[in-house]
Chain A
Amino acid sequence: MLLREVEYARPASVQEALRLLGANEGARALAGGQTLINVMKARAASPDVLIDLADIGELRGIELGADGTLELGAMTTYTDIINSAEARARPILGEVCNQIADVQVRNRGTIGGNVCSNDPTNHLPPLLVAIGATMTIVGQDGERSVPAAEFFLGVYMTAAGPGELLTKISVPPGKSDGFASVPIGKEGTCIVNVAASLNGGAGARLAIGCVDAVPVLLTPDSTEGDAVRKAVREANLDPPWDVHASADYRRHLAEVLALRAVAQAAGRK
């Protein structure tokens, strides 16, 4: 398919990337391109300028801090995360990345691209909300940190605005996490997905994906089945319906998958 004509630059530093993003209206950052190139084919996005982040080494890599905090560069690919010894400090990260699409997409798709595209069916937005990740965003005015729960603003919209870049995702230490989904075919697009994390006190952090424009965060005060079910019911989810599932079925899945995700997380205490 022929893309619309587009301008291109491949800067070597975050500073230069920010300058180019700021200087060109209609510029977009190009990470792995596994979403953006396709939506450009379909003309669902038509950026005038692509700022390719491939040469910016500081955006890649995974570091495990002394306190157990993982820092993942936004340009780190799913395959990098799956194969990283450091990333196993939070095992759910590699496990979920290994369920995304296929080998080819995992080889090029990035954690930053996944969250910045914020397709409501993506795997990583609910996961990062549940495990309490923090996003680092840089712009012309400097750097700021945004909790994942406040990063996702709407369909395809995040706190990283025009002229800004997501540079890093920080993940606190922890192990008792779960992720459950019903995808369209094995490792396909999710119909509903739920991430759970039990790393603070008696309750759980649940984030439900695919049922709203952004992940729905629930914090039942107990991990008992009844408490989890009640929390999902009281959220009064109003999911979309389509050829794959009715709204009622998605509501049903949200409850069932919440239980499964919590059970998986509880098994890893």
Chain B
Amino acid sequence: METVSRKTITVDVNGEQYEREVDVRRLLIHFIRDDLDLTGSHIGCDTGNCGACSVLVDGVLVKSCMMLAVQAEGAKIETVEGLAAEGELNDLQQAFSDHHALQCGYCTPGMLMSATALLRENKTPSEDEIRKSIQGNICRCTGYVNIVEAIQAVSR
């Protein structure tokens, strides 16, 4: 086996197949935003602290600034763009809107993906479980109260 500095990768993002040649050093978030032009996922801190770049890789919630694009070879990736089927907000997104769970909106794509991951595993999370699940997502506007309420509203 040889080492390489560029590699062709195939990924499924929100149900669409993409094949691209990327530098090994390319972070997954840059691949998603710049190569695939899916700019819903945000870069907040670029240091792995803020969670604005959170996406699901093979169903697992990750921060896409702490993963290389080549590490996602063959994976099924879900980003915020995949939540609104045919342009209609899903229940979680609608709850964020109804509960004023966003102000500037910068953290929202990551919050939505973290909440999506939580609700798949646990349909009726407690407030503590919700708060623990968004520990890795920083919001500087809302104080989190309305975000927690929005997630609670779709828990059942």
Interface residues of chain A, those whose CB is within 8 Å of chain B, are 1-11, 16, 20, 24, 33-34, 37-38, 41, 49-50, 52, 54, 101-105, 107-108, 186-187
Chain B contact-residue range equals 20 to 34
Q: How far is the CB of B127 from chain A (nearest CB, A)?
A: 14
Closest to A36 in B: B66
Closest to A4 in B: B25
B67 near A3 (CB under 8 angstroms)?
Answer: no
Q: How far is the CB of B142 from chain A (nearest CB, A)?
A: 18
Question: Cβ of B54: which chain A residues have Cβ within 8 Å of it?
Answer: 104
Q: In terms of DSSP, what is the predominant structure of the interface of chain B?
A: mixed
Contact of A9 among B2, B25, B118 (CB under 8 A): B2
A54 near B71 (CB under 8 angstroms)?
Answer: yes
* Bound-state Cα–Cα, A34 to B67, Å: 8
Known: A20-B1, A104-B63. 17 other contacts (CB 8 A): A1-B65, A5-B23, A7-B3, A8-B7, A8-B68, A9-B2, A10-B73, A20-B3, A33-B71, A34-B66, A37-B67, A38-B66, A50-B24, A54-B71, A102-B51, A103-B118, A105-B63
**In chain B, residues 13-30, which have Cβ atoms closer than 8 Å to a Cβ of chain A?**
23-25, 27
B25 near A3 (CB under 8 angstroms)?
Answer: yes
> Contacts A5-B23, A103-B114, A103-B135 hold; do A108 and B5 have CB atoms under 8 A apart?
no
B125 at interface, CB cutoff 8 A? no
Q: How far is the CB of B93 from chain A (nearest CB, A)?
A: 20
B24 near A8 (CB under 8 angstroms)?
Answer: yes
Closest to B54 in A: A104
Contact of B136 among A2, A4, A102 (CB under 8 A): A102
B133 at interface, CB cutoff 8 A? yes
**In chain B, residues 46-83, which have Cβ atoms closer than 8 Å to a Cβ of chain A?**
46-48, 51, 54, 60-63, 65-68, 70-71, 73
Contact of B71 among A9, A52, A104 (CB under 8 A): A52
Closest to A27 in B: B3
Q: How far is the CB of A18 from chain B (nearest CB, A)?
A: 12
CB<8 Å pairs between A and B, sample of 15: A1-B65, A5-B25, A8-B7, A10-B73, A16-B1, A33-B71, A37-B65, A37-B67, A41-B46, A41-B47, A52-B70, A52-B71, A104-B114, A107-B62, A108-B60
B4 at interface, CB cutoff 8 A? yes
Q: How far is the CB of B113 from chain A (nearest CB, A)?
A: 9
* Bound-state Cα–Cα, A11 to B1, Å: 7
Question: Cβ of A104: which chain B residues have Cβ within 8 Å of it?
Answer: 51, 54, 61-63, 66, 114, 136
> Contacts A7-B5, A33-B66 hold; do A103 and B117 have CB atoms under 8 A apart?
yes
